[in-house]
Structure 1
Amino acid sequence: MFHNQYVRFAGILTLLPILYFSISGWTVTSAPKPPNVVLFFIDDLGYGDLSCTGAMGYTTPNLDRMAAEGSRFTNFLATQAVCSASRASLLTGCYPNRLGISGALSPFSPVGLNPNEETIAELLKEKGYATGIFGKWHLGDQQPFLPLQQGFDEYYGVPYSHDMWPLHPNQANAHYPPLHWIEGNQSLNEIKTLDDVSGITPTVTKRAVSFIRKHRKDPFFLYVPHPLPHVPLAASPAFRGKSKRGVFGDVLMELDWSIGQILGELKQQGLDKNTLVIFISDNGPWLNYGDHAGSAGGFREGKGTSFEGGHRVPCLVRWPDVVPAGRVSNKLLTAMDILPTIVNVCGARMPKQSIDGVDWLALLKGDESVTPRDHFFYYYRKNSLEAVRKGDWKLVLSHPGRTYEGLLPGQGGKPGPTTENHPFARALYDLQRDPGERYDVQQQHPELIAELEKLAEEARSDLGDDLQNRAGRHVRAAGMINAKP
């Protein structure tokens, strides 16, 4: 009898914690899954190339919906207005000249992103994220520099710009080798014709959707650097002739479709609300390509310049219940600020070496009282400081640079001329009143000239300035295939 009473008493003791948690309304649940990250990086997309930013002749309904369901950042800058430099900055959170990266790397270049630099992919991989890139890499096509050596688990794409191929309009001077798709570290089929180019966007889309399905139960970082609308342009048969803007509009409609497919897959897999999605461009439009180029949306100049048309790009961010829907923010931000923000979102560590990006998660969540960034340095060419910005004030420094103005653009995929060493004089612009940079007001604000020149001097000391034959104190070496680790 005593034994039976003991058993009953012990059973009651066993049930007490369950009864307590049930009465208290407490439940034992597993830890929430870390958020996924999808980062779109579009090639040569201008500020005015979405219908929500003023495009005409075609519409981008999926991107417009992304803007309506998330936030649009109208003062977002590519870190440098050229391909490889811009991509290095995005993935590392640094000014590209701090990393020794400049321009657009050519095929077989001995230079690439130094494997000692830590990318977003490497930092998230440490936290158990699956990492994939589908699209254009352009940070070195030699194997030590390819994505699988820079933190990515999966890679399918093109190693550099797809105009670096035998059909380039200036091939007589360029002498580019055949262009191949790469999977992992292996070269696959060649991209030989415009019909092959027309398959780029669908292929990238299919691979990105497959990656989401494959890793739906894991946290993942999906990087989609679409190669188009960089020239040469070609749309798949499903989109040819669909726009009133020619092949450029057709290509943009197909890119919008691609974004819709990837966002739709997130929703279908139940990942929609737990995924941070960022959409940006690597630089402004390549204006001398005329009807095959995009629009800078009224900003001055375009790709390859230190005016706003070269740097100001669309930025859309969507994360339901975290990022406010329908919000427009005009705070100054840059592509190199994405790494520290993603790191914060995902609970990863910061890179061991110093970076230039700033965390803007509070602003992302809707706190407009914060100002994550108040200044920016416009570098171009190898390491030339061409402009300095603080707040709404921008000092364009005296420099030789590219201009498209006054020159007839090309047609049908062939480029028109540019002036590459136009002598730009020093000028001060108030971007709040004059975002087109047309009215030099330096005579009215001499005190601002002194302040911005002081800021420029700080940049020269830190990063250098080829225009003054100065080396920076804190510049790191790019990767070299013959260099020792």
Structure 2
Amino acid sequence: PFFLYLPHTAVHLPLVPGKNFKGSSKGGAYGDWVQEIDWSMGELFKAIKAEGIDEHTLVLFTSDNGSAREKQGSNLPLRGRKGRTDEGGMRVPCIVRWPGRVPAGSSSRALTCTMDLLPTVAAISGGKVSKTPLIDGKNIWPILSGKSKDHPREAFFYYQMDQLQAIRSGDWKLFVAMDSKKRNWGNPEGKKALALYNLAKDIHEDNNLAAENPGIVKQLLAHAENAREDLGDVGRPGKGQRKAGWVKKASPRLLSR
């Protein structure tokens, strides 16, 4: 058995596609680099097949966040960009392939996240995830294998640094009221009112339905309070928060070419 984690530097800034891919797309340097990623994935599949392990290998392709701005890809029809808690900043594709194990051509709208990868891979390989410290991810193999369509979690929390900004449960997403909304870059935004969206019908988060759905708002606010109790919020430590780890004796290394 083997495990390969391959985090492409592409398409992060600076945009430097290989010379064989410059001008290969209609999307400028960004599009050219996407073409190169596609090629590199093809090379991986060739190697897997050449080794005769294609049907015994799970391949999972995803991203860490949405694109940063217009010249570096598009998040449409989602609102927002990298560094924000709008769907365009957080929601990304996840493509999974395992011949004979993952139904080809299938799709799922279940709410999953990269935290789910550890417990999922552990379950597939016959391992177990330690209960202490608590792992927030869920085993989503029943979803990937087509045996379940249910959301693996009751609620998902959108944090910007230490600030809880939104909660999702099912198709409902609630932005909590904020006196000042933090941003990844630049000064915080001003005061923000409570806003509720139905992502199944309004994926761009345009139509605030909070006034028409007080029961849904109340339910999501209860989830928000649970998150604050466990994970914290601005100026409020959570009971489940773990202190950052530190290396007791640092041993720096310099890399040279």
Taking structure 1 as the reference length, the TM-score comes to 0.49
2:93 aligned with 1:327, yes or no?
A: no
What is the one-letter code of the residue matched to 1:371?
A: H
Secondary structure of the corresponding residue to residue 443 of structure 1: coil
1:481 to 237, 247, 251: 247
Q: Residue 429 of structure 1 contacts residue 437 of structure 1 at CA under 8 Å; is this kept in 2?
A: yes
Q: Where in structure 2 are the equivalents of 1:266-415 lying within 5 Å? A: 266-287=48-69, 290-291=70-71, 293-351=72-130, 352-381=132-161, 383-399=162-178, 400-402=181-183
Query: Hey, what's the Cα distance between the residues in 1 that align with 2:66 and 2:223?
Result: 25
Q: Where in structure 2 are the equivalents of 1:429-448 lying within 5 Å? A: 429-448=197-216
Q: Where in structure 2 are the equivalents of 1:95-174 lying within 5 Å? A: none
Match of 1:426 in 2: 194
Q: Residue 78 of structure 2 contacts residue 87 of structure 2 at CA under 8 Å; is this kept in 1?
A: yes
Q: Residue 374 of structure 1 contacts residue 391 of structure 1 at CA under 8 Å; is this kept in 2?
A: yes
Q: Residue 362 of structure 1 contacts residue 370 of structure 1 at CA under 8 Å; is this kept in 2?
A: no
Query: Hey, what's the Cα distance between the residues in 1 that align with 2:33 and 2:174?
Result: 36
Q: Residue 160 of structure 2 contacts residue 183 of structure 2 at CA under 8 Å; is this kept in 1?
A: no
Query: Hey, what's the Cα distance between the residues in 2 that align with 1:283 and 1:322?
Result: 27
Query: Hey, what's the Cα distance between the residues in 2 that align with 1:395 and 1:386?
Result: 8
Query: Hey, what's the Cα distance between the residues in 2 that align with 1:402 and 1:300?
Result: 15
Q: Residue 284 of structure 1 contacts residue 309 of structure 1 at CA under 8 Å; is this kept in 2?
A: yes
Secondary structure of the corresponding residue to residue 73 of structure 2: coil
Query: Hey, what's the Cα distance between the residues in 1 that align with 2:135 and 2:103?
Result: 28
Q: Which has a greater percent of strand? A: 1
Whose relative contact order is higher, 1 or 2, with alpha carbons under 8 Å and at least 6 apart?
1
Query: Hey, what's the Cα distance between the residues in 1 that align with 2:187 and 2:11?
Result: 23
Query: Hey, what's the Cα distance between the residues in 2 that align with 1:354 and 1:419?
Result: 33
Query: Hey, what's the Cα distance between the residues in 1 that align with 2:205 and 2:150?
Result: 26
Deviations 1:120-175 (A, max 9, x none): xxxxxxxxxxxxxxxxxxxxxxxxxxxxxxxxxxxxxxxxxxxxxxxxxxxxxxxx
Deviations 1:241-299 (A, max 9, x none): 11111111110000100111011110111111101111110111111xx42x1111311
Q: Name the CA shift for 1:371/1:392 in 2 (closer, same or farther; >3 Å).
A: same
Secondary structure of the corresponding residue to residue 422 of structure 1: coil
CA RMSD of aligned residues (A): 1.7
What is the one-letter code of the residue matched to 2:87?
A: E
Taking structure 2 as the reference length, the TM-score comes to 0.91
Query: Hey, what's the Cα distance between the residues in 2 that align with 1:369 and 1:422?
Result: 37
Q: Residue 305 of structure 1 contacts residue 401 of structure 1 at CA under 8 Å; is this kept in 2?
A: no
Secondary structure of the corresponding residue to residue 153 of structure 2: coil
Query: Hey, what's the Cα distance between the residues in 1 that align with 2:44 and 2:11?
Result: 18
Match of 1:262 in 2: 44
Query: Hey, what's the Cα distance between the residues in 2 that align with 1:375 and 1:305?
Result: 19
2:236 aligned with 1:456, yes or no?
A: no
Higher-Rg member (1/2): 1
Match of 2:22 in 1: 240
Unaligned ranges ≥5, structure 2: 250-257
Deviations 1:290-343 (A, max 9, x none): 42x111131110111111001100100000000000011111111111111110
Q: Residue 429 of structure 1 contacts residue 441 of structure 1 at CA under 8 Å; is this kept in 2?
A: yes
Q: Residue 151 of structure 2 contacts residue 170 of structure 2 at CA under 8 Å; is this kept in 1?
A: no
Query: Hey, what's the Cα distance between the residues in 1 that align with 2:150 and 2:166?
Result: 25
Q: CA deviation at 1:373?
A: 2.2
Query: Hey, what's the Cα distance between the residues in 1 that align with 2:84 and 2:182?
Result: 7
Secondary structure of the corresponding residue to residue 257 of structure 1: helix
Query: Hey, what's the Cα distance between the residues in 2 that align with 1:303 and 1:370?
Result: 27
Query: Hey, what's the Cα distance between the residues in 2 that align with 1:482 and 1:363?
Result: 41
What is the one-letter code of the residue matched to 1:257?
A: W
Q: CA deviation at 1:355?
A: 1.0
Deviations 1:422-454 (A, max 9, x none): 223220001110011011000000111111111
Q: CA deviation at 1:348?
A: 1.3
Unaligned ranges ≥5, structure 1: 1-218, 404-417
Q: CA deviation at 1:371?
A: 3.2
Secondary structure of the corresponding residue to residue 328 of structure 1: coil
What is the one-letter code of the residue matched to 2:83?
A: G
Q: Residue 332 of structure 1 contacts residue 374 of structure 1 at CA under 8 Å; is this kept in 2?
A: no
Match of 2:13 in 1: 231
